[in-house]
Amino acid sequence: MSGFSAVRLLREALRGQTGWGQQWRSPDQPQAAYDVVIIGGGGHGLATAYYLAKGHRVGRIAVLEKGWIGGGNTGRNTTIIRSNYLFPESAALYDHAVQLWEGLSQELNYNVMFSPRGVLMLAHNVHDEQSFRRHVHANRLAGVDNEWLDAEACRAFCPPLDIHQRRYPVLGGALQRRGGVARHDAVAWGYARAASALGVDIIQNCEVTGITRANDGAVTGLSTSKGQIRAGKVGVVAAGSTSLVMAMAGVRMPLESFPLQALVSEPVKPVFPCVVMSNTVHAYISQSDKGELVIGAGTDQYPSYSQAGGVHILSHTLEAICELFPMFRRMRMLRSWGGIVDTTSDRSPIIGLTPVPGLFVNCGWGTGGFKATPGSGHVFAATIARAEPHPIAAPFSLGRFTTGRLIDEAAAAAVAH
Amino acid sequence: MLLIHCPWCGERAELEFRHCGEAHLARPTNPATLTDAEWAEYLAFRDNHRGWVRERWRHVHGCGRFFNALRHTLTDRFAASYKTGEAWPEPPA
Amino acid sequence: MTRLVSGGRIDRTRPLRFSFDGRGYTGFAGDTLASALLANGVHLVGRSFKYHRPRGILSAGVEEPNALVEIDRGAGRREPNVRATVVPLVEGLVARSQNRWPSLRFDLAAVNGLASAILGAGFYYKTFLGPGRDAWHKRWEPLIRRMAGLGRAPEAPDPDRYANRYTHAEVLVVGAGPAGIAAALQAAASGGRVMLCDEQAEMGGSLLAEPVAWPQLAADLATLRANPRVTLLPRTTAFSYGLQNFVALTQVVEAAGGLRERLWQVRAGRVVLATGALERPIPFSGNDRPGVMLADAARHYARRWGVLPGRNVAALVAHDTGYAAAFALQDAGAAIATVLDMRATAPDDLLAEAAQRGIRVLPGHGIAATRGRQRITGLLAAPRGADGAPDATRATPIACDLLLMAGGWTPSVHLFSQARGQLRWDAGLDAFLPDAAREAVTCVGACAGEGLTPGLPVTQLAAGSARARKAFVDQQNDVTTRDIALAVQEGFRSIEHVKRYTTNGMATDQGKTSNMLGLAVVAGELGRSVPEVGLTTFRAPYTPISFGAFAGRHRGLLFDPIRSAPLHEWATQQGAVFEPVGQWQRARYFPQAGEDMHAAVTRECLAVRNAVGIFDASTLGKIEVTGPDAALFLERCYVNAWQKLGIGRCRYGLLLREDGFILDDGVVGRIAADRFHVTTTTGGAARVLHMLEDYRQTEFPELRVWLTSTTEHWGVIALQGPRARDVLAPLVEGLDWTAFPHMAVAECRVAGVAARLFRVSFSGELGFEVNIPASQAPAVWQALLHAGAAHGITPYGTEAMHVLRAEKGFIIVGQETDGTVTPDDAGLTWLIGKAKPDFIGKRSLSRPEMQRADRRQLVGLVPRDGTTLPDEGAQLIASAGSRVAEGHVTSAYRSAALGHPIALGLLASGRARLGETVLATSLTGPPIPLEVVAPVFLDPKGDRLRG
């Protein structure tokens, strides 16, 4: 892999771009056997393969992707990155990711455009205020940056914001300055390129159709649309399709997969400096480097694998955007799309071992998986390599649904009095 | 927006309904006799199947009834809806 | 002027003035901004996204990638990125060019074009990696962002209004060209409701360029208009096609009263798509100069708008329709310099007609380059070599001021594809056509391939173009054939990857002119066929749709319904400060002159403790549970025992989720053997009713019990304080006070109104809650105020209510609990009916995690210094240096009754730590030492409320 740099860019410009090779190897056919196979070529799966190859001596590694890498939720999300979660277990996981984000472009020699422009979460009622201030206290104690802004300070940080909107005026907000956005496609491509350079086989258009197991129940290999593959260990990182893959090994999961939509506006000159989230009125917005307003909508209420949702979901979000930012009413929606998000009952992910020896799973990221990509891959790689949970991953075990040790991040925004 | 057939009221827009999860998961009659794992299975573990699924809906902004429906989770098409307690229809071939 | 003296559909009796970049021009009613600009000889209209190249008007419709302008209709009505080709001209229209500085003609950023070799596809992924880890964010990204974007976002709130309408139709026809009009006439004849929409201001589609068809068009539209069952919607775009024939349309209204757009959501029995086809541009060097135009667009400008977009016209054709355009322009008075036919041979009849017209045709030719800075002045015609590329060594210069491109036709299958219809590749027509449909939909006309003839296949159109310099595929995003070839070279094989890496097809025209060409270039590079490479997904919307149309009337106070309690109006008159609680507005406190919140709340609290306070508790959720099995039903749901609760008695009920955590609480009164009055939290009412209904209907269908929401039926007035009975008693009829202890309920009359009277206390004082029909609440409230005047009755709000209950250690669900709190955590184990075999959530309470001794338990907290109020949400730590949270402060108030701050909190093993000191984190100073105490601060024995 020849390095990317400004000098190289100039050299290639002078010789007609002839020196650029494939960014990652994509063999048409898999080898007959691998020591570790990762199912799912999204950001999390590719990151897992990269950290396995880089930091653990596990032998031959392959990533199997049924479509094209990065074509699922990695390329369909609104790229928000933050770590200001309430519970220490969550904050540790997501902050591990943010720390990796901060050096990821250099690590991968690929500009993933991590842009810590600050994530501002708005409070619209007393309950929000109490909840977000609790987050601020908890995060600061855990060493995660988060600060409370009053309403005027929110407007100063995000000038388009109307803090006096009539129905749900802004009372204040929790700001994480280290939070921000990144270029989602580049994350998949950058990890693929770096993993490929370390010898990982990335097999695209290769759908897993079965999981083969030995008499003792342990995983021995996979049936795929490109034939049988023997595998020592298998890591399932299949997001919305996790239940389907795990069912091939006879494992039922505490997951439901829902459609989640997002949209962008037409591009405009810089007008929106940060990321703003409002759980109360359901609005999530930032502006991409290209100039598009990037807006996250909600999930539909029913599980679906259709990657399509209802217009009323988009309307609901745009109503909120138009209230918070009244000058955007004349902006236009350019493109909308849907993804499939796998959600758990406590809205926290599952990372770890499964009842099947040799089978590992990383799923349940719901609507917020992109932000965790590097951290998720990093701790999952260690978990697979050592066949025991990485300390940061340990609380996110499948077993918590049995013991009741849930990590319920949604709960803190629970009922109002 | 889905068009949903309520077995009591007929076809109505999705906005009148609330989805209520996988159908035919009866609450154990004597939970105290279950192991933790069995109880967790009831609480959290779901088929999450791609294909025809039996699911619960409630016509919450209409008659208020819970009912079941057969829907395909890849096409989002309904094959049938039926009242609580009725036998489930077989999915279309 | 390039306006023809006659012809076209414009109204020459109605001249309209408009301005572009500050300069005044004149057009006519019926013009678009684009046709009016062309009529005034204006070809340079915009600058491209990346290289800031001069760009003109490529098309005559929604597919326009280049002619994007800012339209300014005054304060708050400025709009970026508007396609000049779809804006009907109106008097006084103000338009400006975008993405240029200092001016459109002289744009400094055009220097980017010089560096285009460096700024190729995906260049930004390969650089900006230093210096330092934050170089991208700190140094490079701001530069990139300033260069990117197109127009300026609006800066002031939009004063216009938007509307929304849901409707049904037997038949919805999308597209009012010849096929759509025919379909609408046919559908109308069968009698159902028919809707016909078209994105243009004038219906007719391709017929608008066929003067001979105009009389019939007018007659057909008149027929439709006369039919009351037919709705004609011009300027209406069907942009999203959802399941079960649910189609979203947006209509531009621009009515005088400020109604700008209307969103239609139509459930149609059958949808007819007559969406036509779009002409393909052709990739060659310099194909983006102003004056390079789609051939059929030029024909439309001449025929429909009476505009000659060029006097000396050249044409590059790959399809027969290019000849028709050239002939039409010649008929309108243009000189046709040359027709370059990319095909080896042209049809004999066209060659014969060209010869007859004196037009030179050069078969087998392409274009090696074009000339002209801000408008085309000429081109280099060259024979195509074996690989399809023009042979520049044999090029001939040809002068022209307009170059037509006729690259063939791409059916508009966007909506069909959105409707999850399958597409098939028709090799003969060289196009994707609708195949199997999933919806009740019919495609007619050009979008179904009807009436289309084959031209040069698109792969041959693109053949050899990857070697051309600056042959643009996506003109707006400045994606060239070389960019696409580079992406393929770098391993991006999927068309979705190529799209994302190069941004081809991601501009505001949504790839209408670029997607097929992009596919063809990729196919050529990979040596595959177009269908093997596949299509990118057609995503909604078909054309960009304003946010305001989606939001509709949901703005300002109508953003979300407001629920107000029966005494809301009275509280407003008293100057109450309200807080939103869910959709409810609740009075938080009642400040008197000069009081801040703290002063008002202190006064209100003391009034309750020392005299009597009055409080509007109407927002509490209420459910009437009736039937012979009502008690058994509650027994199975709530943690408490209910069967032995006496008639006329109340109990504090606790409801869990099946996972064992507290869901809701509230007082439940037994009105009769088969009738319970259940209350819930304000925010939990709907959730609780939904859950109880679920169990009633699906788990316990054998029980004879019915649930009715009575939240809005009852107004609830709480009277709390030692003088409460003194105020109330004189107004009560039909109650035996001697048999009315704490936690009793009775039906009686209060101030002459039939009431359910509860003796309950959420303040720790003697207390009553008067339930009367909501409509009677204001009258009863006034009567109580009147009766209480002598006793110092004081209205109080939710804030004082919170302080009062905290002094008594009563929890608030959602504040002390957060979905992770069990009954034992909250100190409420005593509520659980000991003999009960089961209730919702019981099984979960025996899971190992619920049994841990170090679970966080409800405690009281008092500052060691007696004065410092800890922060709600503050984390509790054991020592100053600790980073380990052992709990948090859930509520904290200054207690006037106690004379010092108090707090409630959840603390690990809290009940075993009474007397210990813990520290509460502070955002502004050192942590605050707190003593751990029992959570009941006042009157732990409850003497006051039993008084």
Domain annotation for chain C: domains and CATH numbers: 11-147 (3.10.20.440), 160-278+408-454 (3.50.50.60), 281-407 (3.50.50.60), 574-620+713-808 (3.30.1360.120), 621-710+824-838 (3.30.70.1400), 851-947 (2.40.30.110)
Average pLDDT over residues C650-660: 97
Average pLDDT over residues C78-85: 96
Q: How far apart are CA C419 and CA C239, in angstroms?
A: 11
Q: Please give the single-letter amino acid code of residue C554.
A: H
Chain C contact for A15, CB < 8 A?
no
Q: Which residues pair with C369 in a beta bridge?
A: C380
pLDDT of residue A132: 95
When CB atoms are compared, the residue of C123, C141, C551 closest to A318 is C551
Q: Please give the single-letter amino acid code of residue C837.
A: P
Q: How far apart are CA A302 and CA A308, in angstroms?
A: 11
Contact at CB, C658 and B56, closer than 8 angstroms: no
pLDDT in tens, C602-652: 999 999 999 999 999 999 999 999 999 999 999 999 999 999 999 999 999
- Taking the CA of residue A31 and the nearest CA in chain C, the distance in Å comes to 20
- Taking the CA of residue C238 and the nearest CA in chain B, the distance in Å comes to 16
What is chain B's alpha carbon radius of gyration, rounded to the nearest angstrom? 14
pLDDT of residue C534: 87
pLDDT at A412 over 60: no
* Cβ contact C387:C463 at 8 Å: yes
Chain A: residue nearest C477 by CA? A290
pLDDT of residue C256: 85
- HEC string of C211-241? HHHHHHHHHHHHHHHHCCCEEEECCEEEEEE
Contact at CB, C557 and A333, closer than 8 angstroms: no
Chain C contact for A406, CB < 8 A?
yes
ipTM of this complex > 0.95?
yes
Find chains touching chain C: ≥3 CB pairs under 8 Å: A, B
Q: How high is the mean pLDDT of chain B?
A: 96
pLDDT at C756 over 50: yes
- Taking the CA of residue B84 and the nearest CA in chain C, the distance in Å comes to 7
pLDDT at C304 over 80: yes
Counting residues of chain A whose pLDDT is more than 70, the rounded percentage is 98
Q: Which CATH architecture has domain A22-77+185-254+346-416?
A: 3-Layer(bba) Sandwich (3.50)
Chain A residues near residue C158 by CB distance under 8 angstroms: 326-327, 329-330
Contact at CB, B74 and A306, closer than 8 angstroms: yes
Domains of chain B: 17-23+49-86 (3.30.2270.10)
Label residues A279-299 b or e (16+ Cβ within 10 Å = b).
bbbbbbbbbbbbbbbbbbbbb
pLDDT at C102 over 50: yes
Residue C876 parent element (H or E): strand C875-877
pLDDT in tens, C783-816: 999 999 999 999 999 999 999 999 999 999 999 9
- Residue from A186, A52, A43, A46 nearest A110 by CA: A186
**pLDDT band with cut points at 50, 70 and 90 for residue A1:** low
Q: Which residues pair with B58 in a beta bridge?
A: B18, B66
DSSP labels, C408-434: -EEE--HHHHHTT--EEEETTTTEEEE
In the stretch 42-81 of chain B, residues with CB closer than 8 A to chain C read 43, 56, 58, 60, 64-66, 75-77
What does the angle CA C383 – CA C384 – CA C385 come to, to the nearest 5 degrees? Answer: 115
Chain B: residue nearest C709 by CA? B64
Contact at CB, B65 and C659, closer than 8 angstroms: no
**pLDDT band with cut points at 50, 70 and 90 for residue A415:** very low
pLDDT in tens, A268-280: 999 999 999 999 8
**pLDDT band with cut points at 50, 70 and 90 for residue C1:** low
Q: How far apart are CA C944 and CA C764, in angstroms?
A: 7
- Taking the CA of residue A270 and the nearest CA in chain B, the distance in Å comes to 34
pLDDT in tens, C196-243: 999 999 999 999 999 999 999 999 999 999 999 999 999 999 999 999
pLDDT in tens, A195-237: 999 999 999 999 999 999 999 999 999 999 999 999 999 999 9
pLDDT at A159 over 50: yes
Q: Which of A401-415, C44-58, C578-592 has the lowest mean pLDDT?
A: A401-415
Two tokens at C733? 């009829």
Distances (CA, A) of C278 to A354, C296, C411: 53, 9, 6
**CATH 3.50.50.60 domain locations along chain A:** 22-77+185-254+346-416
DSSP labels, C781-799: HHHHHHHHGGGT-EE--HH
**Cα dihedral value C217, C219, C220, C224, nearest 10:** 130
Contact at CB, C246 and A115, closer than 8 angstroms: no
Chain B contact for C844, CB < 8 A?
yes
Which one of B2, B48, B61, B67 makes the best mutation probe of the A interface by having the most chain A beta carbons within 10 Å? B48
In the stretch 546-565 of chain C, residues with CB closer than 8 A to chain A read 546-548, 550-552, 554-557, 559-560, 562
Q: How far apart are CA C925 and CA A258, in angstroms?
A: 44
Residue C822 is classified by DSSP as -
When CB atoms are compared, the residue of C160, C683, C885 closest to A415 is C683
Contact at CB, A137 and C888, closer than 8 angstroms: yes
pLDDT at C154 over 50: yes
Bridge pairing between strands C402-406 and C409-411: unpaired
pLDDT of residue A417: 38
Which one of A241, A304, A311, A340 makes the best mutation probe of the B interface by having the most chain B beta carbons within 10 Å? A304
Contact at CB, B3 and C246, closer than 8 angstroms: yes
In the stretch 397-426 of chain C, residues with CB closer than 8 A to chain B read 420
Bridge pairing between strands A172-176 and A147-150: antiparallel
* Cβ contact C750:C714 at 8 Å: no
Chain B: residue nearest C708 by CA? B64
Chains A and B form CB pairs within 8 A to the count of 71
Q: How high is the mean pLDDT of chain C?
A: 96
Contact at CB, B1 and C265, closer than 8 angstroms: yes
Find chains touching chain B: ≥3 CB pairs under 8 Å: A, C
* pTM across the whole model: 0.97
pLDDT of residue A410: 78
**CATH 3.30.9.10 domain locations along chain A:** 115-179+257-343
Two tokens at C283? 């990739």
pLDDT at A416 over 90: no
Q: How far apart are CA C320 and CA C334, in angstroms?
A: 19
Contact at CB, B1 and C697, closer than 8 angstroms: no
Chain A residues near residue B44 by CB distance under 8 angstroms: 254, 344-345, 401
Bridge pairing between strands C714-720 and C613-616: antiparallel
Contact at CB, C150 and A267, closer than 8 angstroms: yes
Chain A contact for C534, CB < 8 A?
no
- Residue C596: count other Cβ atoms within 10 Å of its Cβ: 10
Contact at CB, A403 and C127, closer than 8 angstroms: no
Chain C residues near residue B20 by CB distance under 8 angstroms: 694
Q: Which residues pair with C312 in a beta bridge?
A: C335
- Residue from C552, C273, C227, C567 nearest C416 by CA: C273
Q: How far apart are CA C260 and CA C239, in angstroms?
A: 17
pLDDT at C771 over 60: yes
When CB atoms are compared, the residue of A257, A306, A401 closest to B75 is A306
pLDDT at C285 over 90: yes
Average pLDDT over residues C381-394: 95
In the stretch 631-660 of chain C, residues with CB closer than 8 A to chain B read 658-659
Q: How far apart are CA C753 and CA C768, in angstroms?
A: 16
Contact at CB, A305 and B73, closer than 8 angstroms: yes
- Which residues lie closer than 8 Å to C328 by C-beta, 6 or more apart? C209, C298, C299, C302, C303
pLDDT in tens, B53-66: 999 999 999 999 99
Q: How far apart are the first and last CA of chain C?
A: 96
Residue with tokens 């035919």: B24
Average pLDDT over residues A295-307: 94
Q: How far apart are CA C715 and CA C567, in angstroms?
A: 9
| CATH fourth-level superfamily of A115-179+257-343 | D-Amino Acid Oxidase, subunit A, domain 2 (3.30.9.10)
Q: How far apart are CA A77 and CA A367, in angstroms?
A: 8
